[in-house]
Amino acid sequence: MSYRPEKRIHLCLAHMSGKEQDYIKEAFDTNWVVPLGPNVNAFEESIREYVGHGEVAALCSGTASIHLALKCLGVGPGDEVIVQTFTFCASSNPVLYLGATPVFVDSEKDTWNMDPVLLEEAIKDRKVKTGNYPKAIITVALFGMPPKMKEIVAVAEKYGIAIVEDAAEAMGSKYDGKYLGTFGLYGVLSFNGNKMITTSGGGALICPDEKAKQRVMYYATQAREPFPYYQHTEIGYNYRMSNICAGIGRGQMLVLEEHVAHHRKVQSMYAELLAKVKGITVHKQPEGGLFDSNYWLVTIIVDPKIKIKGQYEVADKAHLSGEPNINVEALRLFLDRANVESRSTWKPLHLQPVNAKCPVYVNGVSENLFKKTLCLPAGPYVSEEDVKYIVDKIKEAIC
Ligand SMILES: *Cc1c(COP(=O)(O)O)cnc(C)c1O
C-alpha cells in the first residue's frame, strides 16, 4: 500500500511548543489581559537576544511594523519609497497609508529578491525625474531567501537612504552569519498564523536602539504624550501587541530553531527527490556560504514546455491570460485534488491594479518567475512521508 496522508497537507500550519498556554494562563492569573505586560517584555527580550541586535518592539502585525518604521523615517505625502515588486501587498501598502508613492524595483534571478544594479538605476532616475532621492528602501526576503544584502547596503549607503528590511517571511534566515532583520535601520518580523512562528497574529520591529524603540511605541500608543491627561500633538495608531498574544510568542520562541531546521530539511528532501524530474527545478540559495535561508516555503520552477494532466481544461478559463502558465495552474489543481495545498508565488506588485500609477523599474525577472513558479508545503507538520508523497504526485501529474 502506498502512503496516503490522513489530512490535507498545508503550506505552513501553526505548530505549538506546549508552553504557550502556561504563559497565557499566567497572564490571566495576574490579570495582565492588556496590550502590555510581562509576556510582551519577555517576548521582546527573547527576540532581541535571538537576533543579537538593537531593541525590539512587539506590535500587532508585520504590516503595522512596516508602517511605523516608515512613519519614524518621516515618510509622508510627496515622498517616494523604493519597494521590491516581487512580494506580498503588505510590503508596499504602508507606503500608501502615509500618502507616499511606492517605486517598484524588480528582482535578480539568483535570490528572486531586489536587483542591486536596478536599485541604483532607480535611485538615480528618481533624482533626475523628481529632484529628490527616495526616502527609504524596503527590501524583502522572499519565502525566507536572503537578498544580496552586501550589494544593496552598499547602494543604500552611497546615497544615504535608509533600509527597512521586510523579513516577515525570514525569521531565522541569515546572510553572512547575521540574522535578517538586522541589516537595515529597521527590521520587520511577522507572527501571522502561517509564518515561521506565530502569535496568532502579530509582528515586531527591530529598532537600532532604545530611543528609536521609544519613538515606535509612542506612535503605536496613539501618539500619547507624557501628560497627566490625554494630550496629542500628532496622529498615532493603536498598534501594540496584546500580552495574551505575546504569551503565545514566548512559547513559540522555544520551537523556532526546530522549525528552521525542519524547513531546511524539507527543502533538501525536495531538492534531492526532484533532482532528476525533467522540467521541475527546486529553487536553491546561491552557493558560497553567504546565504542561509530558512526556506519558509519551498518553491519550484515549472518549465513552460512540460505538459501537466488536465492543463487543457485550465486553458479554457480565459481569466488565466497573463497569469501563471496553464501547466502551473494545472499542477496546482492536480495537487489540490491529491489533498496538497500549493500556491503560486506573489503576483508582482507593479502588476496589481491598485498600484497602476506607481513608477516601476523592471527587467522581466519577477513577471517571468510569477508565471512559472509554485510554492510547496514546508511547515512543521509536513513529514518526510508527506514530502515523498508530494513528489510522487508531481511526477504523476507530468504527462
Ligand atoms: C506576512 C507578510 C507581511 C505582513 O505581515 P502581517 O503580520 O501579516 O501583517 C509583510 N511582508 C511579507 C513579505 C509577508 O509575507
Ligand 1 pocket test, pick from 11, 63, 96 with the greatest ligand atom count within 8 Å of Cβ, gives: 63
Q: Ligand 1 centre from 23 Cα, in Å?
A: 25
Residue 169 CA: nearest ligand 1 atom is: 15
Ligand 1 pocket test, pick from 68, 91, 241, 347 with the greatest ligand atom count within 8 Å of Cβ, gives: 91
Ligand 1 pocket by Cβ (under 6 Å):
61-63, 87-88, 90-91, 140, 166, 168-169, 190, 192, 203
Residue 195 CA: nearest ligand 1 atom is: 1
Q: Ligand 1 centre from 168 Cα, in Å?
A: 5
Q: Ligand 1 centre from 266 Cα, in Å?
A: 22
Edge-first strand order for the sheet with 373-376 is 280-282, 298-302, 373-376, 343-344
Residue 203 CA: nearest ligand 1 atom is: 7
Q: Ligand 1 centre from 65 Cα, in Å?
A: 9
Asked if 134 and 81 touch (Cβ cutoff 8 Å), the reply is yes
Q: Ligand 1 centre from 297 Cα, in Å?
A: 14
Report the predicted TM-score, pTM, of the whole model to 2 decimal places: 0.97
Which 8-state DSSP code applies to residue 13?
-
Q: Which three cell numbers stand for residue 196?
A: 515561521
Q: Whose CA is nearest to atom 7 of ligand 1?
A: 62
Ligand 1 pocket test, pick from 104, 142, 143, 190 with the greatest ligand atom count within 8 Å of Cβ, gives: 190
Angle between helices 38-51 and 20-29 (to 10 degrees): 140
Integer Cα distance of 42 and 46 in angstroms: 6
323 by Cβ neighbours in 10 Å (0-12 / 13-18 / 19+) ranks as middle
Asked if 23 and 247 touch (Cβ cutoff 8 Å), the reply is yes
Q: Whose CA is nearest to atom 5 of ligand 1?
A: 62
Q: Ligand 1 centre from 92 Cα, in Å?
A: 10
Quick one: how many helices (H) and strands (E) in the chain?
Answer: 13, 15
Which residues of the chain register pLDDT less than 70?
1, 317-322
| Residue 352: per-residue pLDDT | 96
Q: Whose CA is nearest to atom 2 of ligand 1?
A: 168
Q: Ligand 1 centre from 64 Cα, in Å?
A: 9
Q: Ligand 1 centre from 399 Cα, in Å?
A: 36
**CA distance to 128, 205, 268, per residue, from 245 (Å):** 46, 16, 33
Encode pLDDT of 33-67 as tens digits. 999 999 999 999 999 999 999 999 999 999 999 99
| Residue 1: per-residue pLDDT | 55
Integer Cα distance of 387 and 270 in angstroms: 7
Residue 140 CA: nearest ligand 1 atom is: 13
| Residue 319: per-residue pLDDT | 60
Residue 201 CA: nearest ligand 1 atom is: 7
Encode pLDDT of 84-141 as tens digits. 999 999 999 999 999 999 999 999 999 999 999 999 999 999 999 999 999 999 999 9
